[in-house]
Each structure stands twice: as structure tokens, then as C-alpha cells.
């Protein structure tokens, strides 16, 4: 029996595991290796890393640090979760393994929708094409930038990015499936955002961290230097419904601002799956804060 099982081995989950390990609790992290940090090849807004650090580096360092203090790791995805009296039972995969724990932390993050049919997009992600304006808006300052997106989601992103650059083009990859509303067309016009309908065929890179352009299906080439994607994302919170944990309409989990506990006793949520700003530094704080209150509950 573990004192705490952490579902999700991203930034929030790893920080919580380290904090709980230092309290000398028996902790297991069940990691399906997903989440937004897997896309980030250079975070430039993290204290102590002026030259940037990748999500992969942080995750590898966090796992090593956690293992040093006795935290255990299981590779896999939790397929079901139930409360059994005073404990929780988690089934991993297709009944491959069952884990029992006194406390649960859900830190499963979110998954960005990334079209598979855009050539060169995944290769540019995290270096020349970004997902989070609060994290990487600074990287596009004064540069020609394209938002590759769908519907109103992409239009909203394009308007936000005008804070850093005057040259923003929004390319709607799915104009028929996801048209832009009149309201957001007006907002883009007011913000000085150019609007182009796709679909998009290719993202071309000039250097590792700079684009040369975006090619459309009609062979038009939109010359840009940087990009953002805005196709929407999914909060990976399906496991929460099995436990009766409340979810918002967008799938994110509301938590207590002080303790990060959910509406279900002894179940916490932290990181991008919770309802808050989707930033690495916030996830670190969430993970530590949740762990402190998990520890307090174990002392009752």
C-alpha cells in the first residue's frame, strides 16, 4: 500500500513526488509520458535557466531526483480508479497491474491537438512554433508570426499575440469545419490581424529556431519567422469521473486554491489538468503545494 499514488509524471507530478519523498512517504508515480512539457524543447521563462531548458531535461532530472529519495515509477496509463473503503485502487493498462494508495494526486496534464497532415510542424514545435503565449510570446517580439489554428480558438490566440508583434497572420487550417465567427472576425480586424483560410500543407524551417514560411494547399506561401498553434486542447481528466471528481465544462478540474484538493476527500489535482494558468512555474508550485497538504492529511 502506497501513502500516495501520483497519476501523471509531468512537472507537477514530479515536484509533488519529490516533496512527498522528502517527507519519507511511500510514493508511486504512474506515468504515460504525455503532457505539454513533452513538446517544450526550450523553456525561456524559468528562473535559473537564462539560456532555456527543455521539458525533457527537466523530466529526466526530476525522475532521477525522485528515485534517489525512494519514489517508485510505473510506466503505463491508469485505465480505472475506484475507492475501496479507506484506500484507492488503480488499474494500469489492461489489468496489467493494480496499485493501492491512501491518497491520490491527479496530474495528468493536457494534450494539444496537433494535425498530423501538416508537414514539418512537429519538427518545429518548441523551437520556432509554440503553444503558450504566456511562456513564449517574448520569443516572437517584432517578428512576422503566423498562428496555425482552427476557428475562434486560433483567432483568439492571434489577437493575444499582437502584444508582442505588429505582424500577425492567422491561418485557419479548417475553414469549413471550424469557421471564425463574425465577432472574432471583427476583433481580428480591430487588432490588425490578417486572416487567411487554409488548409495548411507545410511548415518550412529556415534555421532551428526560425521559420521561412507556411505553404497552403493552393500553393500560396505565407512568409513568416515564427509560429504558434491553436487547434485546441483536451484536459486529460477522464480518470477523475470514475472517482466523482468535479470537472468544468472544458474538462479541467477545479481545486481549492490553498490546498489543491478536489471536491472528493483525499483526491488532489495539480498542474495543467487543474483550472489555472498553464505554465511550468505554476505547475511546480501546484505540485509542491498539493504535496504539503497530502502530507498533512496523512498525519491526521
In whole angstroms, what is the distance from residue 222 CA to residue 205 CA? 12
Strand partners, 105: 6, 268
- pLDDT for res 137: 97
What pLDDT does 278 receive? 87
Within a 10 A sphere around the Cβ of 50, how many other Cβ atoms? 8
**pLDDT (tens digit per residue) in 110-137:** 999 999 999 999 999 999 999 999 999 9
Q: Tell which residue, 136, 152, 233, 232, has the closest CA to residue 193.
A: 152
pLDDT at position 94 is 86
Specify the pLDDT at position 50.
93
Number of alpha helices (DSSP H) and beta strands (DSSP E) in the chain: 8, 17
Nearest of 147, 271, 281, 283 to residue 203 by alpha carbon: 147
Is 13:29 a contact under the CB 8 Å cutoff? Answer: yes
**Residue ranges of the chain with per-residue pLDDT less than 50:** none
Kindly report the pTM of this predicted structure: 0.94
Per-residue confidence (pLDDT) for residue 35, from 0 to 100: 87
Determine the Cα–Cα distance for residues 279 and 267; give it in Å rounded to an integer: 22
Taking Cα atoms as reference points, which of 107, 112, 81, 100 lies closest to residue 14? 107
Under 8 Å between Cβ of 286 and 8 = no
pLDDT at residue number 232: 95
Contact 216, 198 (CB under 8 A): yes
Closest alpha carbon to 66 in 120, 97, 110, 30:
30
Q: Helix 55-68 vs helix 11-22: angle between axes, to the nearest 10 degrees?
A: 20
- pLDDT for residue 139: 97
226: nearest Cα among 286, 137, 94, 120: 137
Query: How confident is the model at residue 103, as a pLDDT?
Result: 98
What confidence tens digit (pLDDT) does each residue in 145-184 have? 999 999 999 999 999 999 999 999 999 999 999 999 999 9
Beta bridge partners, 194, equal 169
Amino acid at each position: 500500500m502506497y501513502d500516495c499514488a501520483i497519476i501523471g509524471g509531468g512537472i507537477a507530478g514530479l515536484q509533488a513526488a519529490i516533496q512527498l519523498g522528502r517527507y519519507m512517504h511511500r510514493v508511486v508515480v504512474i506515468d504515460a509520458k504525455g503532457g505539454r512539457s513533452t513538446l517544450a524543447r526550450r523553456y525561456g521563462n524559468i528562473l535559473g535557466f537564462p539560456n532555456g531548458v527543455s521539458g525533457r531535461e527537466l523530466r529526466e532530472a526530476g525522475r532521477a531526483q525522485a528515485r534517489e529519495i525512494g519514489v517508485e515509477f510505473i510506466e503505463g496509463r491508469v485505465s480505472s480508479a475506484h475507492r475501496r473503503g479507506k484506500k484507492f485502487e488503480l488499474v494500469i493498462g489492461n489489468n496489467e497491474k493494480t496499485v493501492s494508495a491512501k491518497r491520490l494526486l491527479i496530474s495528468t496534464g493536457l494534450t494539444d491537438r496537433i494535425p498530423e497532415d501538416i508537414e514539418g510542424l512537429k519538427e518545429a514545435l518548441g523551437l520556432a512554433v509554440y503553444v503558450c503565449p504566456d511562456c513564449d510570446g517574448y520569443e516572437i517580439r517584432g517578428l512576422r508570426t503566423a498562428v496555425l489554428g482552427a476557428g475562434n480558438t486560433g483567432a483568439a490566440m492571434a489577437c493575444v499575440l499582437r502584444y508582442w508583434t505588429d505582424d500577425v497572420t492567422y491561418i485557419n487550417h479548417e475553414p469549413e469545419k471550424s469557421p471564425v465567427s463574425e465577432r472574432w472576425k471583427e476583433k481580428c480586424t480591430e487588432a490588425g490581424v490578417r486572416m487567411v483560410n487554409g488548409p495548411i500543407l507545410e511548415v518550412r524551417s529556415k534555421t532551428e529556431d526560425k521559420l521561412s514560411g507556411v505553404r497552403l494547399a493552393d500553393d500560396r506561401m505565407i512568409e513568416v519567422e515564427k509560429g504558434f498553434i491553436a487547434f485546441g486542447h483536451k484536459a486529460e481528466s477522464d480518470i477523475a469521473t470514475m472517482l466523482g471528481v468535479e470537472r468544468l465544462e472544458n474538462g479541467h478540474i477545479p481545486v481549492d486554491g490553498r490546498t489543491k484538493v478536489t471536491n472528493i476527500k483525499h483526491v488532489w489535482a495539480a498542474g495543467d489538468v487543474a483550472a489555472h494558468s498553464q505554465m511550468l512555474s505554476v505547475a511546480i508550485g501546484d505540485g509542491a503545494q498539493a504535496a504539503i497538504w497530502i502530507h498533512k492529511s496523512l498525519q491526521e
